[in-house]
A and B are shown apart, each in its own frame.
Chain A
Amino acid sequence: MGAVTYPDSKVAEFVNGRMIPIQLLADAKPYADDFNVKWTPTVIVLDEDGKEHSRTVGFLSPEEFVPSLLLGIIKTQFDLNRFSEALTDAEKLIADYPKSRATPEAIYLRGVAGYKSTHDPKHLKAAYQKLQAEYPASEWTERAQPYNLLP
């Protein structure tokens, strides 16, 4: 990550603009134990109170790292019931990174966040229909499959 992904200008621009980045040694006490770190690179997204909402282990290219982080931000917003912010960033991820491995989960979360903020099940059904049409092999398409039965 330090040789390829972190020096990438688009990665740096995204991280500096959207997040507070901190780098710790893999054996840093007490954090390595607190976060149960067993391998590097381990990249974790925390909220403002230090609570974990997303993690990845292993190398990611610059092209995949930015949408991976954006998905982590969306998960954080979702977990904190900040659905409007989650929806805005999900729209951005889906539009800007359609080929990312993170995108199907963003579509799923957009559907759930849309439902939780409006109580209209059309958002869930729309999520499944988009996943089925554009990402039929994704695990998130399978997870959303029951939503197709909604009226």
Chain B
Amino acid sequence: MAEIQWLDDMSVALARAKAERKPILLDFFNPG
């Protein structure tokens, strides 16, 4: 089954977004 390939570093997300010309999905979550 496919899973969302979450990142956890904003600088990495921004670099990938620029390179792939894609928008970022930013999810703030509470694990508790």
Q: Please give the residue numbers on chain B whose beta carbons come within 8 Å of chain A beta carbons, in ascending order.
A: 1-10, 12-14, 16-18, 20-31
Contacts and interface: CB of A to CB of B under 8 A. Distances in A.
Interface of A: 1-2, 6-7, 9, 11-13, 15-16, 18-26, 28, 31-32, 35, 37, 40-50, 53, 69, 72-73, 76
A53 B13 CA distance: 16
Given A21-B24, A22-B27, A45-B25, 16 more contacts: A1-B27, A6-B4, A15-B4, A19-B23, A19-B24, A21-B5, A21-B6, A22-B9, A22-B13, A26-B30, A31-B26, A41-B27, A41-B29, A43-B26, A45-B23, A50-B14
Given A15-B4, A48-B14, A22 B26 contact: yes
